[in-house]
Amino acid sequence: MPSEQTKTAPGNITEKKSTHQQGSPAQLNGFNLAHDVTNPSSQPQFESRPPSPAPPPDPLILPREQWGGKYEFLLSCIGYCVGLGNVWRFPYLCYRNGGGVFLIPYFIMLFFTGVPLFLMELSLGQYGAAGPITVWKCCPLLKGIGIGMLCVSMLVCLYYNVIIAWTFYYLGSSFQSPLPWSCDAPANAYLCGNATLNSSSGRALSPSEVFWNERVLGVVNSKGLHDPGPVRWPLALCLLAAWVIIFFCMLKGIRSSGKVVYVTATFPYFVLIVLIIRGATLEGSLQGVAFYLTPDWGRLASAQVWNDAASQVFYSLGIGVGGLLSMASYNKFDNNVIRDCLVITIGNCSTSFFAGFAIFSILGHMAWRKGVPVGEVADTGPGLAFVAYPEALALLPGSVFWSILFFLMLFMLGVDTLFGNMEGITTAVLDEFPQLRANMKQKSLFLGLLCFGFYLMGLLLITDGGIYWFTLIDSFATSFGLIIITLFMCIGISFFYGVNQFCQDIIDMICRCPPWCSKVLLYFKACWIFCTPFLLLIILTYIFIEMYNTPLQYGAYVYPRWGKALGVCMGATCCLQIPIWAIVAISKESGTLKNRFKKSIRPLNSWRGNNLNNSGGGEERVEPERMEAPFTVNLTDRDTVNLTEVDFTAIAWENGTEA
């Protein structure tokens, strides 16, 4: 047997001398070194050389996908942001909060909270090339932010597809002539001929209200949150169809959903343009538009106006639920994220503004036909999409065509937004368990179980009392919990990861950074450090005050205290993930509490290696991996040692070695 000696050199390097063939390479943890070691008396001499190639990828783990083109990403983000809130929420908030004056607080909140957070989430996802959980390798202490995003996204997916189920129901009903919620329908003759009073409001019920409350929701059969009643099976079938469509559209990830958005993201714009043109030709449309935009300058002094502006920015941009971060993670590394951020946010807000003309021009015509003020026919949320606007469409010539067009638009808007939320969930799970990407059968099974689980939980929301549960989840899923998550994301990136480092990361991604990008980054830097956290704290304070003083209700039904407490628990569950996972991260480290904290906010070694193969063309960029002590060097030459060329980046070599 050949003799072997082991000596310990400075730096925890273990020397092993063995009688092997002359010229066999030295090894470090199983990897061959650049040169053999031949002279124990000489000092190590280092020569510069190109970075070594990346290790071969694991054949069991598929690399992350990328968008087929930049337009797929832009359309996916626009479709995700331009959702139902742009159509049924923004126009109502605009007229309720002073008309055109509402645009002032809206754009202030947009440029000081919405756009900076939007850019932060896009940049974080694109640079890290990871989902909302894995991306927090940049700061393990804040992994709970990603878990919290996942919780919010699951709550949103749970109730958002119920809206699509309602849309399916109305879309199917729109193929009847006359429309079942119009006065021309024989079943509604008694409603239009005789005044049927609403017991809660004391005013006459319209056929569209009766259709919505009795035929669709069945809420007249429920006494409240405690009395959900039976499942409404027509809606259950619509909900099942909605989840089946989502499943097949997302089956191949962004390769399938990236193609679907070419239709689902552009079709709503076509419908809005058609509705604006049609509305402009109707009698009374100008009164509706005037009601939408007439300024009331006194409303600027109301805190409610500023809170509504902030909530609309968060609601429409989809910040803090992980969808943006996940979609950006499939970008090429050198994608101009600042340009995309400005295009998407400006496009989203422009859509909200112009959707108001499509909505209020036709509502103005309905008010003119009824001889009542526009304020009496305007509504928000489901009341606008499924009561007021369908009733207005029923008054138009060719009402069946306009109704089909409108509910197709709502379906496209809802599906696009749900794509983003579901992408946030699936990307987070697939990044944590990358082996699922390599096995299409397992991935399909996971997605199928996820959709089926959401379907089963969603059945509660389509019972007779389901609208009470829907309103509860809608009110608290994206309330204070979402604000706390985005606040910690902003503070964590700015002060723990480092705002200067984050800005440098953005510049590194935009390899040909134009001068205006660097100047714009100074503005975003100021927002991330001061303006955005300050405004988020003000919004959060107002939400807690309003939540304490204002009872939650749907129509005339006031929610019991236990119901409101349940909603608070939903929101608290999302944001409590932050301290829970922070404690876990600190407990995994060693040393004093201060040292553990410092270690837990440092990026992991694999953080900067995520995008190595995403630079797209040119020379492959490989970032060297940091090697952690202890490590061993196995020297296989006969009796002498001399390191002449080594390409290590995280090991400090001593100037001498022992023979």
Output the known binding site.
79, 82, 86, 316, 348, 413, 416
CA 47 vs. chain centroid, Å, equals 47
Per residue in 399-420, is it b (16+ CB within 10 Å) or e — as a string?
bbebbbbbbbbbbbbbbbbbbb
Give the residue among 454, 446, 421 at the shortest CA–CA distance from 257.
421
CA distance 36 to 644: 8
Q: With beta carbons less than 8 A apart as the criterion, state whether 102 and 93 touch.
A: yes
CA distance 209 to 386: 9
CA distance 9 to 631: 11
CA distance 39 to 372: 99
- Order the strands of the 633-634 sheet from edge to edge: 31-32, 27-28, 633-634
**Burial label, 630 (beta-carbon count in 10 A; 0-12, 13-18, 19+):** exposed
CA 484 vs. chain centroid, Å, equals 15
CA distance 396 to 387: 15
Give the residue among 558, 559, 551, 556 at the shortest CA–CA distance from 200.
556
Query: Other C-beta atoms within 10 Å of 49: how many?
Result: 10
Beta bridge partners of 31: 28
Task: State the residue for tokens 């001498």.
Answer: 656
Q: Write out 294-332 in H/E/C secondary structure.
A: CCCHHHHHCHHHHHHHHHHHHHHHCCCCCHHHHHHCCCC
CA distance 178 to 399: 8
Q: What is the DSSP string of 583-610?
A: HHHHHHS-SSHHHHHHHHTSPPTTGGGT
CA distance 361 to 252: 41
Residues listed for the chain: 659
> Which residues are CB-contacts of 50 (< 8 A; sequence separation ≥ 6)?
none
Beta bridge partners of 28: 31, 633
Task: State the residue for tokens 């951020």.
Answer: 341
**Which helix (H) or strand (E) segment is 347 a member of?**
helix 337-370
Angle at CA of residue 387, ends 383 and 391, nearest 5°: 150
CA distance 275 to 195: 31
482: number of CA atoms within 13 Å, CB side?
27
CA distance 6 to 24: 18
Summarize the annotated binding site for Na(+) as residue ranges.
Answer: 79, 82, 86, 316, 348, 413, 416
